[in-house]
Structure 1
Amino acid sequence: MHQHAPATESTRNRLLIAAGITFAILVAQLIGSILSGSLALAADTGHVAIDSIGLFVAAFTATLLTRPATDSMTYGYARLEAIAGGLQAGMIIIICTVIGYHGILRLITPAPVDGTQMAAWALAGLIGNLASMLVMMGRHRDNLNIRAAFLEVSVDAISSVGVIAGGIITRLTGITRVDAVISLLIAGAMLPRGYKLLKEAGSILLDRVPSDLNADHIREHILEVEHVTGVHDLHVWPLNSHTVLLSAHIVIAKECYRDGHALEVLHQVEECMKSHFPRSIEHCTLQIEPEGHAAHETLKH
């Protein structure tokens, strides 16, 4: 058994601190959206709610990822990263839909908005978002889940700037439709992030070949190794955002078993997988077999 998911106590603690800050922002902006009547601030609050949930889930996941693999869970909890990221993506898409619906209604039928309170509460949210980003800095590339949380907090900081600008414009001009426009822009900024995250999580859960690798190229490289005459049952899939797994049946001439080339082929293919591709494939399961052995296999891939 191997440990496949790097996660540290430092990462978890940073996430918990960022989650606490984000939850405080959530409470503050929720109060502010009620007092000001701002849909844009409510939209930003919804975005912050996703951030807060994502950060707590990321912290919980980071804790589980430190647990060792067992005989019953031979990969440990590595797949939790993708599951948590997918759940967060789903929430993002749902809240974008709700924001978009109410934003269009507000454009058709404007509602009163207090621009001063809208800008003031959004400013408090911006300060909190910047603090969360600072806490996560240095750990935001650890895995898909943490990266997603960092990106969402970053987008939320940008959203807060938009809400501040909208509040100022509303205060100066009295045009309340600005609030609806800002809310739709926030939803528009969130939606691509949600789609991208959902796609990444789905690719991992569906065992899709990582985008920076190509199964045909991998097969070609293996076939270039001396004494290799064929490759079949080649599978390449991600365990999480860091680790790529590969399994393959490597066909060699029968005489290679007598002259010692079988072991040499195994070493060369493993070295090739580690060094010839954009992402190193260090976890390989290779079956070296003689020509004609495939006829005895019952399971075809």
Structure 2
Amino acid sequence: MDTSAEHGHHGHGVDPGAGRANRSRLLITIGIVSAVLVIEVVGGLLSGSLALFADAGHMLSDLAGLLVALVAGVISARPATDSQTFGRRRSEVFAAFINGAILLVVVAFITVEAIQRLLSTAAPDVQAPLMLAVAVVGAVANTAGVLILRGGAKDSINMRGAYLEVLGDLIGSLAVIAAGVVILLTGFQRADSIASLAIAALVLPRALSLLRDVLRVLSQGTPRGTDVAMIREHVLRQDGVVSVHDVHVWSMTPGSNVFSAHVVVEQEVFGRGGTDALLDSLDECLSEHFDVAHSTFQLEPEEHADHEVDQHR
């Protein structure tokens, strides 16, 4: 018997209930964002506020991102196949990449337009009361969107991207409100352009953070917060384990971590038929202590490991 073939124990799969809940959250938020987008565009045209246009442009990118996130959520819920053995969960990562790229484009546009207005000799004529009223409506609607999406943001990079976008809209609406109050009280019209730059400054770090997480996943880097040395220590504590090598930890999406390793085991574990119990113990350890959704172990007797130890570290 080829004892090195004792392998392949795994844990948690995709929760279909969570996927349906996330899609419902996205649909409701899409409706909210679409309504506010129209209100802000009309309000920007009537009031002459660049800050409202900036926030509307941000919301347009968010609406596109939410639609992409919705489509990606549907695709990622499809079951695994022979050609897609992990399913299509990576579609969430690609959706997050698109969201991040859109945000960067919006930041560039807002920054250029705001600087041009600030450098212009003619101060913009902004209707502060209308600007303020529209911004308040946007803030209330965005608050609702943030509360709706918050529940799904912890477990999915796709939902996290959508949540961060709407959170950014809320912050943008608050910046527009602040600018409207300043113009209304002091007549300082350039507060509108300054608020636009503030919106761009708030959006940029979120976009870069999202893209950084995407690159970490696509490059199969070790998941953030995962201590590989500590995982090795936990595996070595299991009864009958001699050593562990060829360790790999990566993510299908953030929050869905995958682990594989070759585990060298005492010969007597194979002799007494204790491999199933050891696999159960290893899998339970990783799922409970390290939030690993899928783990695979190749158990090897000591004499077999001698053939591989120089190749796998």
- Using the size of structure 2 for normalisation, the TM-score is 0.85
Per-residue CA distance 1:117-147 (angstroms, 9 max, x = gap): 3222222322332333354454444522112
For 1:42, which of 44, 53, 58 is the aligned residue? Answer: 53
- 1:169 is displaced (CA, Å) by 1.7
Which residue identity lines up with residue 174 of structure 1 in the other structure?
G
Shift of 1:249: 0.5
Conservation of the 8 A alpha-carbon contact between 2:100 and 2:207:
yes
Q: Which has the higher contact order (CA 8 A, sep 6+)?
A: 2
- Map 1:89-100 to 2 at 5 A: 89-100=100-111
The counterpart of 1:78, out of the listed 67, 84, 89, is: 89
Change in Cα spacing, 1:274 to 1:135, as seen in structure 2 (3 Å) is closer
1:1-301 pair list within 5 angstroms: 3-4=13-14, 6=16, 7-109=18-120, 110-136=123-149, 138-275=151-288, 277=289, 279-294=290-305, 296=307, 300=312
| SS, match of residue 211 in structure 1 | coil
Q: Specify every segment of 5 or more residues in structure 2 that has no aligned partner in the other structure, as ranges.
A: 1-9
Note the alpha carbon deviations across 1:54-95, whole angstroms, 9 max, x for none: 221222222223322222212212111111112111211221
Q: Using a 3 Å threshold, how does the CA distance of structure 1 residues 137 and 285 change in structure 2: closer, same or farther?
A: closer
Instruction: Give the secondary structure class of the aligned counterpart of 1:237.
Output: strand
RMSD: 2.5
The alpha-carbon deviation at position 288 of structure 1 amounts to 0.7
Q: Distance in 1 between matches of 2:303 and 2:116?
A: 69
Aligned in 2, Cα 1:100/1:64: closer, same or farther, shift over 3 Å?
A: same
Q: How far did 1:292 drift?
A: 4.2
Gaps of 5+ in 1: none
The number of aligned residues is 299
- Provide closer, same or farther for how the CA distance between residues 187 and 157 of structure 1 changes in structure 2, counting only shifts above 3 A: same
Amino acid at match of 2:211: L
Contact 1:4 1:75 survives alignment (8 Å): no
Matches of 1:36 and 1:106 in 2, distance apart? 15
Query: Using a 3 Å threshold, how does the CA distance of structure 1 residues 53 and 111 change in structure 2: closer, same or farther?
Result: same
1:236/1:244 contact within 8 Å kept: yes
Residue identity (%): 38
TM-superposed CA distance for 1:286, in Å, is 0.6
Q: Any conservation in 2 of the 1:107–1:177 contact (CA below 8 Å)?
A: yes
